[in-house]
Amino acid sequence: MKLFRCARKPGGRFFFWIFMPLACLSFWSVIADAESSNIDKLGEVIVYSLIGTGLFGFSYNKKIFTMQFWRYFIPVAIGWDVYTLVSQDWSVFSESEMAVHIFIGITLICLGLMLFFQYFGLYKYAYQSQEIWDK
């Protein structure tokens, strides 16, 4: 019976294993960037480590922290993502208007999809996974 219960979320596990290398790449890029502040480095590591932990818990039906923790954490993580997008130096793309539009379009598509699935997984973990929290 336990085997079938774990097999219910193959999409969640697939996304988790796509998310983790991208999160590690993000950690590395922020830590390697000499211009990023220590708050940016620490925030990136803490927030995305917790997001990865929540996605792991959802994907593999593991109870990690509490349901209430994840409900409070989702707005914090969204706030962090908004902060990082707003605080980016976008002046690099001021040379060509076409390059700016192409970059923004690709970013919105790729990043938007990743963020959607990331927060969708956390939402389902915090609000719609009662079978995990009842264990």
**pLDDT value of position 26:** 83
| Structural tokens at position 71 | 């409900």
E-state strands within the chain: none
pLDDT digits (tens, 9 = 90+) for 43-92: 989 999 999 999 999 999 999 999 999 999 999 999 999 998 888 766 66
pLDDT digits (tens, 9 = 90+) for 101-118: 787 788 778 888 999 999
Mean pLDDT across 11-25: 89
Integer CA distances (angstroms), 103 to 13, 43, 89, in order:
29, 25, 13
Instruction: Say whether pLDDT at 30 is over 70.
Output: yes
**Contact at 8 Å (CB) between 58 and 124?**
yes
**Contact at 8 Å (CB) between 55 and 118?**
yes
Instruction: Count the neighbouring beta carbons within 10 Å of the beta carbon of residue 108.
Output: 10
Instruction: Say whether pLDDT at 121 is over 80.
Output: yes
Predicted confidence band at 119 (pLDDT cuts at 50, 70, 90)? Answer: very high
**Contact at 8 Å (CB) between 122 and 72?**
no
Instruction: Say whether pLDDT at 2 is over 80.
Output: no
